[in-house]
Amino acid sequence: MEVFFTLLEEKDIIELVDPMTKAFDDDAKRFNGKEKDGPPGYDDGSFLYKWGLDNNGSISYKIIVDSKSVGAFIIWWNEDGESTLGTIFVDPELQNKGVGRKAWCFIEDKFLTKSWILDTPTWAVRNHHFYEKVCGFIKIGTKDDQVIYKKFYK
């Protein structure tokens, strides 16, 4: 399985709607008892457009496996301080196959920083496992219905 990362372009958004919708809805169904759930615009492309393309400071990549767009991530990089992982998703059909791990390794290798921070829903236990066990984040708190994670570097 070949995994590649390319900068997100407007033309990519339409092909990422399906994997993003599947990823968020799969988590909602498995861990929150809802058929559909995600951030506003996750199922029509407007989330990716707003935060990935039309947002000053964000850097966005699509994740490609064997020539197919299967996910994406959006970051806010601060080389001299704290960077933010805004979102990362992979089509559920390819989860638990190392794709997310490769994406995180790509981010860490390409975007050196002093620390990373992110938040994820309290009920999204698969995300918690990924961030803690695969990526090395530590839980630093909660706010509303979100768990806050951080990863520090020396």
pLDDT tens readout for residues 129-153: 999 999 999 999 999 999 999 999 9
Q: Let me know: does 140 contact 132? Beta carbons within 8 Å.
A: no
Token pair, residue 55, equals 């947002």
Chain-centre distance for alpha carbon 9: 17
Local structure of 24: helix, strand or coil: helix
pLDDT at 27: 87
pLDDT, average across residues 2-22: 97
How far is the C-alpha of 53 from the C-alpha of 128, rounded, in Å? Answer: 27
- Give yes or no for a contact between 135 and 104, defined as CB atoms under 8 angstroms apart: yes
Tokens, residue 97: 């196959």
Is residue 46 over pLDDT 80?
yes
- Whether residue 32 is predicted with pLDDT greater than 90 in this model: the reply is no
When pLDDT is averaged across residues 87-92 and rounded to a whole number, the result is: 96
pLDDT of 6 above 90: yes
- CA-CA distance, 8 to 55, in Å (whole number)? 13
Domains of the chain: 3-152 (3.40.630.30)
What is the edge-to-edge ordering of all strands in the sheet holding 138-143? 3-7, 58-65, 68-76, 82-90, 115-121, 146-152, 138-143
At 14, give phi and psi (nearest 5°): -60, -40
pLDDT at residue 153, as a whole number: 92
What is the CA angle 7-11-16, rounded to 5? 75
